[in-house]
């Protein structure tokens, strides 16, 4: 997990369950918490043997030297792949971490924003939705809950998803964990979802950034964490609208601004 680099993150500054931050949160979208992020965002898919793996796509084609769906490969097979060389030669030989390994790595160092991917909900080569996965309904949230329980992870945590179904399943599996709703097109149905799930935050894409939407979320008692923001000017605008934090590929920009 060299790319995540959590050695200098400030775990105490990210939100604890049920709490609100005292400053705008910086969530590292691609790791790099050593640049001053409060938390790291990561994505989870299940292997063929139901091990939660930290990988963005539902296939290994784009980010490893292998081919195939994550759900079609065992944890052992996935761990044999090189998951670092595509990003930089410096990371050649890095392996796909299990969620438990990521939790242990972040312990005492930073918070996490764990995005739950529904089977078939990731992106394969060329940006096309791929496959349906081998896991049954609710398998991913249950696997995440199991990893959290086995590691005893106590750092600040948000479990998020674009899928309302996945969030309902996650709430059933993790009654006391902060939940975040990822939105890319609209916030329609936010009230109803909040009533059913009990959200902690809404994570809108920057194109949804309006003062009205921020006010709506705040009236519901939710944090507003925008994604993915990599320009200082846009960061300033989103914070001026009342955003409670940002997800970024470059935490150093936000650190300097903050």
Q: What is the CATH number of the domain that holds 24?
A: 3.20.20.190
Q: Is residue 77 in some structural domain?
A: no
pLDDT in tens, 152-201: 999 999 999 999 999 999 999 999 999 999 999 999 999 999 999 999 99
Does residue 102 fall inside a structural domain? Answer: yes
DSSP string, 135-198: --TTHHHHHHHHHHHHHT--S-EEEEES-HHHHHHHHHH-TTSEEEEEESS--TTHHHHHHHH-
Strands 52-54 and 39-46 turn out to be antiparallel
* Residue 119 resides in a domain: yes
Evaluate whether residue 203 is within a structural domain.
Answer: yes
- 25-to-36, 44, 190, 242, 255 alpha-carbon distances in Å: 10, 22, 22, 12, 10
**Per the structure block, which two tokens stand in for 101?**
């390994």
The confidence score (pLDDT) of residue 124 equals 46
Q: Give the C-alpha separation, 256 to 169, whole Å.
A: 38
Structure letter (DSSP) for residue 98? B
Q: Cβ distance 60 to 67 under 8 Å?
A: yes
pTM for this entry: 0.87
pLDDT at 91 over 80: yes
pLDDT surpassing 80 at residue 6: no
Range of the domain at 252: 6-61+97-257
Q: Which helix (H) or strand (E) holds 111?
A: strand 111-116
With CA atoms as reference, report the closest residue to 56 among 29, 77, 74: 29
Question: How many structural domains comprise the chain?
Answer: 1
Least confident interval from 67-71, 91-95, 132-136: 132-136
Asked if residue 88 belongs to a domain, the reply is no
Which segment of 83-92, 134-143, 240-249 scores lowest on mean pLDDT? 134-143
Give strand pairing partners of 205: 227
pLDDT at 43 over 90: yes
Residue 1 lies in a domain: no
pLDDT (0 to 100) of residue 255: 86
């Amino acid at each position: 997990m060299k790319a995540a680099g959590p050695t200098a993150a400030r775990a105490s500054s990210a939100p604890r369950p049920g709490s609100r931050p005292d400053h705008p949160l910086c969530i590292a979208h691609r790791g790099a918490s050593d640049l001053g992020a409060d938390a790291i965002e990561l994505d989870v898919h299940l292997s063929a043997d139901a091990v939660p793996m930290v990988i963005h796509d539902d296939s290994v084609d784009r980010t490893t030297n292998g081919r195939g769906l994550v759900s079609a490969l065992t944890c052992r097979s996935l761990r044999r792949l090189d998951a670092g060389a595509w990003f930089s030669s410096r990371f050649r030989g890095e392996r796909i971490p299990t969620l438990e390994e990521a939790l242990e790595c972040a312990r005492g160092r930073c918070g996490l924003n764990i995005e739950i991917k529904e089977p078939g909900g990731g992106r394969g080569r060329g940006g096309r939705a791929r496959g349906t996965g081998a896991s049954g309904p609710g398998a991913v949230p249950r696997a995440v809950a199991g990893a959290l329980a086995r590691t005893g992870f106590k750092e600040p945590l948000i479990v998020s998803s674009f899928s309302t179904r996945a969030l309902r399943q996650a709430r059933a599996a993790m009654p006391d964990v902060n939940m975040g709703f990822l939105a890319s097109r609209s916030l329609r149905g936010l009230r109803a979802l909040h009533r059913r799930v009990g959200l902690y935050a809404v994570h809108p894409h920057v194109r949804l950034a309006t003062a009205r939407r921020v006010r709506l979320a705040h009236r519901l008692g939710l944090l507003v964490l925008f994604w993915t923001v990599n320009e200082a000017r846009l960061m300033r605008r989103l914070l001026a609208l009342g955003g409670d934090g940002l997800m970024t590929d470059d935490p150093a920009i936000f650190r300097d601004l903050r």
